[in-house]
Structure formats: structure tokens, C-alpha cells
Structure 1
Amino acid sequence: MQINTGIPADDRRAIADGLSHLLADTYTLYLKTHGFHWNVTGPMFQTLHTMFEQEYTELWAALDEVAERIRALGEPAPGSYAAFAKLTSISEEEGVPEAKEMIRQLVAGHEAVAKTARSIFPTAEAGHDEVTADLLTQRMTVHEKTAWMLRSLLD
């Protein structure tokens, strides 16, 4: 059945493509954060272990929101490691860095997700897609605030 929500098909595809990058960045950051939660050590263990758990829980919920928006736009949501690896702007961590390096990497990851969300905004606006614009605004708010909080631990 045709989608007739007032957003032309080409605009829906372009917006969904951008959201696919956001989904991949979010998933990669989720995996990194969860891995750091499992492996953090040192004097800030309890604080970081708890903080990372809150962050990966929030990211997990965000994955569904972004993927469901892609589907509502009529496009398939990527859902494999291979697809995410091609789409993400965030590098994986294969080792176990020390706690402050974990924080630095997560700051960079949250900033990367905020940049990805921001880069989609003009496409959503051009397509008169207020729903996606609202989702992007919410995601930018979370990622910018989280980056600030993590950055504060390094000062």
C-alpha cells in the first residue's frame, strides 16, 4: 500500500538514509558503552559502571525509536553488524582502555552521534518531516548533555 503522509517518496528515502546512519552510530556507541560498563576498573569504578549502564540503557531504547521511524518512512532499517559497520562514523574499540580513555572515547562517540543527527536535520526540514525533526532534536539533546557530563569527569 502506498504511503501518503505528505512527504514525497524521494524525501522519505533521503531521510531514512540519514536515519540509517544515525541508527548505526547509535548501535556502535551502545556496544562500546556496554563493553566499557563490563570492563571498567579503577578508582572511579562504581561511578562509571553505574553511569555507563544508564547510558547503554538509554541508547538501547533509542535504537528502537530510530529504527521504527525508518520503517514509518517506508524503508527497511539496517539490522546487521555488517550494515552498521558500513554506515557508522564511530570506530570500534577492540581492547580494554583505562577508565579515562573510555570516557574520552564515549565523549567522542556522543559528539559523533549528535553531529550525525544534526546532519540529517536539513533533509528532514526540506521534506517537511516534523516527526523526524523532533526525534533528531531529542537525540541531539541527549547526546550533547551526555558528552558534557562525561567531559566533566575529565576536568
Structure 2
Amino acid sequence: MDIGISPQDRAEIAQGLSRLLADTYTLYLKTHNFHWNVTGPQFRTLHLMFEEQYNELWLAVDLVAERIRTLGHPAPGSYGQFAKLTAIKDADGVPPADEMIRQLVEGHETVCRTARSLFDVVDRASDEPSADLLTQRLQVHEKTAWMLRSLLEG
């Protein structure tokens, strides 16, 4: 493979994107879980909001995994691999709605930190497609975290 990125840089970027994929998939599962199990006075609002969010995350995992494959590396795809790679904590039981929101804010912020941590190697390798993917993901996760945080204010 000769796409203008060294094998070492491709491996390092793929490793970072694997962490991003694991975080995204774990956040997808958590959001879907909360969609199913939310209760309380905000039920309808949160149920629909969480559905929009998990659908967006579901599409995102494919984009990240395909970028890893484009760089010539296998994408992680099992619960075991994701559990080793993710920085997002699993939910304990079924928390109340406000705690669900807090955990999802934390999850989106974690994905942001993971994505940001990759820019040095991506920039050094002149890997614009990965930089573009990271920028797009950051826009989604930062906006989603802001919207969720807004529900906790007041």
C-alpha cells in the first residue's frame, strides 16, 4: 500500500481510530440502553432525543471503521475488543433520567478528547481524510454534549 502515509503513521492512526471506534460504539450502546429504559416526566423528550442520538452514532461507527480499513488495518468489532479500547464507563443498572443525561454528556466529552488526541499524528502524516473525519465527529459530539448539558441547567 502506498497512499503517501508511512506504514508506521498508518498503524498509529489506525490504533487511535480504533479507540475512537470503541468509544463511539460504547456510547451508542449506552444511548440505546437509555432510550429503552428512560422514565419520568421527560420520558417522551428523552426517548426521542436518545433515539436520534443512537441512530447518528450507529452511522458513525461505520465511517470510523471504514477509515481504519482504508488505512490497511483491521477494525475492532467485538465487545471484548471495545471493552479493552474504550474510555467510556458502562452504566450500572438503570439510573434516573438526570443521571442518564449526565453520563451521556460525559460520554460525548470523552469521545471529543479521544478524537482530539489523534490530531498530532494525523497532521504529522498529512492525513486529511482522517482529520476531516475527526473534525466532523467533534462537531457532532460537542453539539450533542451542549444540548444534553442544557437539559441539566436550571
Same fold by TM-score, threshold 0.5 exceeded? Answer: yes
State the identity %. 69
Report SS of the residue matched to 2:152. Answer: coil
The Cα shift of 1:94 comes to: 3.2
Is 1:17–2:15 an aligned residue pair? yes
Distance 2:37 2:67 in 1: 33
Residue aligning to 1:150:
148
1:55-106: CA deviation from partner (whole Å, max 9, x where unpaired): 0000000000000000000000000000000000000013000000000000
1:130-150: CA deviation from partner (whole Å, max 9, x where unpaired): 000000000000000000000
Pairwise CA RMSD of aligned residues? 0.4
Residue aligning to 1:72:
70
Q: How many residues of Structure 1 are paired with residues of Structure 2 in the alignment?
A: 153
Is 1:82–2:54 an aligned residue pair? no
Distance 2:22 2:80 in 1: 10
* One-letter amino acid matched to 2:73: E
Under a length normalisation based on structure 1, what TM-score does the superposition of the two structures give?
Answer: 0.98
**1:128-147 matches, cutoff 5 A:** 128-147=126-145
Residue aligning to 1:108:
106
**1:42-81 matches, cutoff 5 A:** 42-81=40-79
Residue aligning to 1:125:
123
The Cα shift of 1:4 comes to: 1.0
- Residue 41 of structure 1 is aligned with which of 31, 39, 42? 39
Distance 1:126 1:80 in 2: 30
Structure 1, unmatched stretches of 5+, are none
Distance 1:5 1:28 in 2: 31
| Ranges of 4+ aligned residues in structure 1 off by more than 4 Å | none
Distance 1:26 1:121 in 2: 17
The Cα shift of 1:121 comes to: 1.0
Residue aligning to 1:99:
97
Distance 2:92 2:145 in 1: 22
1:8-64: CA deviation from partner (whole Å, max 9, x where unpaired): 110000000000000000000000000000000000000000000000000000000
Structure 2, unmatched stretches of 5+, are none
